[in-house]
Amino acid sequence: MEWYIVYIVMSLLIIPCLILGSFSNARVNAVFDKSSKILSRKGITSCELAEQMLSHAGIDDVSIAEINGKLSDCYDSKHKVVKLSTSVIRSSSVAALGITAHEIGHAVQDHKKMWLFRFRQTFVPIVNLVSRAFVPLIVVGTLLSFAFYLPMVGNIICWISAGLYGLSFLFYLITLPLERDASKKALQLLEELNALDNDELYTAKAVLRTALYTYLSAFTISLVYFLKALSFAFMVAGERDR
């Protein structure tokens, strides 16, 4: 197989993928801003909703905290904290309530000891490592392969880089069904607690669906980077054997 063709194609694909990624982020921001102006008729705030949802789900070991940044809301499973951003925590907008319910969805996944959720947690340090170590590894690998006449060592480093990128790809692959499930749980909880009217529920659903696209684009980008790193390792191996 001509790995250099795969390498060139993947290198070229990175550009449209990154454009798609920033487009999805801009779209999420736009949908969030628009539905942030729609206040729920029942007037419950995100913080109140989070408390109600946790007690409804029988979760008593998770706390709620405020976090800086826009759309930085997350569930921290290590410290068992639902972190809600400043623009969300005191808001009673449909968008804020939808996002809050989604993060509670992750707390429910953790509470129910969902194996996929636990499995993904083990990948977090690897993904952090990949984002920091990939470029130095590939540079060192290439230099050793071509410049310093240590092809074996260089090639091994390239394979390690490809392997790390493969694990990062796996992380984003696992993330997709988990995010979908958290949104499903969110809508279920919103319905069970009667926190939103039907038309508001529809808007919250649209916000969560748009947020899912950002994970879909992150997944695509990780796949392209993985194939690029893999084809690069094969290319270096081919050069070495020549």
Among 132, 119, 117, 118, residue whose Cα is nearest residue 164? 132
Nearest distance from C-beta of residue 45 to Zn ion, angstroms:
20
Q: Which stretch binds Zn ion (CB under 5 A): 81-89, 118-126, 161-169, 171-179?
A: 171-179
| Nearer of residues 221 and 233 to Zn ion, judged by Cβ | 221
| Nearer of residues 179 and 200 to Zn ion, judged by Cβ | 179
| Nearer of residues 162 and 182 to Zn ion, judged by Cβ | 182
Nearest distance from C-beta of residue 53 to Zn ion, angstroms:
15
Q: Which stretch binds Zn ion (CB under 5 A): 10-18, 64-72, 86-94, 172-180?
A: 172-180
Nearest distance from C-beta of residue 205 to Zn ion, angstroms:
15
Among 223, 232, 242, residue whose Cα is nearest residue 3? 232
Cα distance between residue 222 and residue 235, in whole Å: 20
Nearest distance from C-beta of residue 235 to Zn ion, angstroms:
37
CA angle 72, 76, 80 (to 5 degrees): 140
Q: Which stretch binds Zn ion (CB under 5 A): 143-151, 161-169, 180-188, 216-224?
A: 180-188
Burial grade of 94 (CB within 10 A; 0-12, 13-18, 19 or more)? buried
- Pair 95, 85: CB distance under 8 Å: no
| Residues within the interface to Zn ion (CB under 5 A) | 179, 182
